[in-house]
Amino acid sequence: MSAVLLSTDLLGMSKITGAAQRAGCRLAVAASGGDLVARLTAAPARLVAIDLTTTRIDLAPLIAELRALAEPPAAVLAFGPHVHEERLQSARDAGCDAVLSRGQFHATADAIFGQYAD
């Protein structure tokens, strides 16, 4: 697997899935932190993209758990609305490799997923 997206936003998921397909990147979707870790344990991925609007995620422990996997992802990227400055900062503080506004992520998604294409 190339990448896993943690998101519960169906509309956003559609756009992101399309970007991954255009880039030739195999993308799986997880709806919770537990689901994300289970998917990565079963089939490691090089990229994890976390939608910060996903409910019920405690980011710092989740990032620590991802880093501790036998085969951790090469990159953990988080994105969210630019007006959620505190949430974006918490993603930086938690150790995400990149933190983008939702607009930045969608504008560069093809290129991002292209870096992790099969």
**Bridge partners, residue 27, by sequence:** 3
Supply the pTM of this predicted model.
Answer: 0.94
Length of the chain: 118
Structure-block tokens of residue 98? 């990149």
What is the domain range of residue 107? Answer: 3-114
For 107, phi and psi rounded to 5 degrees?
-70, -25
Residue pLDDT tens, the chain, 118 long: 799 999 999 888 899 999 999 999 999 999 999 999 999 999 999 999 999 998 788 999 999 999 999 999 999 999 999 988 999 999 999 999 999 999 999 999 999 999 999 7
**Total number of domains constituting the chain:** 1
Domain CATH for 22: 3.40.50.2300
Other Cβ atoms within 10 Å of 115 Cβ, number? 14
Other Cβ atoms within 10 Å of 60 Cβ, number? 12
Distance CA 33, CA 19 (A): 22
